[in-house]
Amino acid sequence: MTRLILDTQCLVSAISGYHQHSGTPLASLWGDFRRREVILVFSEESLAEAQRVLDYASIERLNITSGQAFVACSQLLLLGEYHALEQFA
């Protein structure tokens, strides 16, 4: 199965695009992840950064609710693959 590491901007764009039904490649990637067709790899630090951005973005500009942001981060924890940051070096 394909494993991907996304930077925070790509991850947030994927989640936002998915909830806006934008049909972008990143939105499609989030759908693939939710269907367990790809694995998103993350570290504790990258998840924390994504959560901070989603909390801010859900209020500001991305038209996703705080509930959708919470569910997205929960899905990443449940379906993604965690690695300690040192493993990425």
* pLDDT computed for residue 32 by the predictor: 95
Tokens of 72: 């997205």
34-39: long-range contacts at Cβ-Cβ below 8 A with a sequence spacing of 24 or more?
Answer: 34/75, 34/79, 36/79, 37/1, 37/2, 38/1, 38/2, 38/3, 38/4, 39/1, 39/2, 39/3, 39/4, 39/79, 39/80, 39/81
Decide if pLDDT at 89 tops 90: no
Mean pLDDT of 72-87: 83
Note the pTM of the prediction, 2 decimals.
Answer: 0.81
Decide if pLDDT at 72 tops 70: yes
Summarised one tens digit per residue, pLDDT across range 26-44 is 999 999 999 999 999 988 8
Decide if pLDDT at 59 tops 80: no
